[in-house]
Structure 1
Amino acid sequence: MSTQVGDTAPDQVARLLAMVPYLLARGEVRLDEAAAHFGVDADQVERDLRLLFMTGLSPGLPGDLIEVDLDALEGDRVIRVDNADYLARPVRFSPAEATALVVALRTMAESAPEGAADVIARTLAKLEGAAGAEGEDLLRLHVTPTPLEASPVVPVLRSAIDHGHQVEITYHVPSRDQESHRVVDPRGLARVEDLLYLDAWCHTAQGDRAFRVDRIVAATELDTPVADASARPRDLTGGWFSDAETTTVTLRLAPPARWVLEYYQVSGERPGPDGTVDVDLEVASEQWAQALVFRLAPHATLLAPVEWVESFSAHARAALRLYEDDGVDS
């Protein structure tokens, strides 16, 4: 993605990191106002936001990505972002991240130009100062438990796993700002990158699910035993897996809608008829999928799940009737 003349990739990353807290603090900002604040033109800010729309927390499901109201951006030239509160908090490095950063800075310092070398030296001094004069205590930078590790639900989940008991959990879905209550058979806890997941059989969904522990609002160990005491936890570290609140949606995309492949992580892709492509997406809600299909119309067709097809068609017909009632040609 191109940037304006004189604007490097590090410049853009730094601007994005500053832009998100700036936007979250204000709730709504006009595009021209944001451009003036960051000293770039409006087109550059719009390019930044379209890049931001593709970023978020691992594993990159739609509910994990930063949300940018593109309709408001394209229509009223107003910026609204959501689902990015974690960027409004100060960054804390894990031991591995701090170690990697120190090693990288030391390597860069040997060949950096004079101006950059001063910045690198000051940054390195701060990190090594926190770690110890020679960096020997670097791996003890992170001596207090992270909020995730200190979460009160973790010992409850571990106890239930050890005892073979079911757990009643309250699970938060940020993309819908809703909480669901369900009974699960816990199998194990697994760390994937910097997130902790509960692998379980969900009795509500009647299937295997991986719940992000930081989204489990409450957990209660029950006296009832799990249905299958011999079940073993799955390996969640090898790639894509479904979150508790996701549904697989299959879309048939015409060439003008193929940008979906660049903006969203797809779990499947197959050639379709007449130059189309069929893609599978894991979506957090029917409402989110419906909004995406309406935005792609008429260049996208919903193929699955079949129970959503008629619902989408009914909503589309209702929307068309609103235009007809207002005397607008559709």
Structure 2
Amino acid sequence: MTPQQRQPAGRATGGDRLGRLLNLVPYLLARPGIEVAEAAADFRISEKQLREDLELLWVCGLPGYGPGDLIDMALDGDRVTITYDAGIDRPLRLNPDEALALVVALRMLAETPGIGSRDAIERALAKIENAAGELGDAPVAVRLPAGTERLEAVRGIVERRHAMRITYYTAARDETTSRVIDPMRVLMVGNRGYLEAWCRRAEATRLFRVDRIDAYEELDEPAAPPARAVPHDVSDGIFHPSTELPLVTLRVGRASRWITEYYPCEEVRRDGDEWLVTMRVTDLGWAQRLVLGLGDVTVLAPAALVVRIRDQANAALDQYATP
């Protein structure tokens, strides 16, 4: 087997290359003048890949990239020698605290439902536990957040390709409904589990937060999403504001400034000791409940939301009126 055959194209990841680069410098320092072919064979990569790694190392350094900050080397034909190591003179080693932190994080990741590449996570965990020795066998209990069992149960139904009947709470409309759905996949977005499915009631693809599913039942019939059931693009999050949604303008005080970091906003502008905030919302009822739950917020637009807030505030005040 030649070095070119050792690592088929497409299998290496950025993490693989970073680990190799961190170990390549001390390896070459210990073997000045080593042949490129021999080094490539030791790292089980092709000579072409090794030369690309050397080119990348040659431009690595501290910001400013002066002559004394970059890794320097001499490449004489088929032989390479490191002439300046920029302080990377030892293979990467984890201290006990770092190793234990990685073990705990990987154990939690391996137990989290809906996570892909579980085999890769378990392989990485096994390597770190083996390298950590006795520390890797430490009895560290990993306790997952509440609702994990439900997420795992829903994931099982998706894998069995069965339809479901769910009772679901919709926060935007503050209502609970019962519906039959055809599950498509389970997603983890922002530390929350979502069930993506074709909703027969809405006749559209919907994302259901698993923690808002009050009850569920696995049906005997198979899940059969129609051809027009297109998965959502969640690469930029769940909520995608569009110009068709109502635009809300608020005057926000310091105590409620946090909403500009928690919710997507189109504009946040300082106005004295307050902020003018514009944001798209899926439903004015949701916006009404949000504003009423805040203390130092004034609604400027739209007019319909201003009327809603005023009417509900007056109704609340009437409850205190003396008969």
The answer to whether the superposition gives a TM-score over 0.5 is no
TM-score normalised over the length of structure 2? 0.42
Larger Rg: 1 or 2?
2
Bigger relative CO (Cα 8 Å, ≥ 6 apart):
1
TM-score normalised over the length of structure 1? 0.41
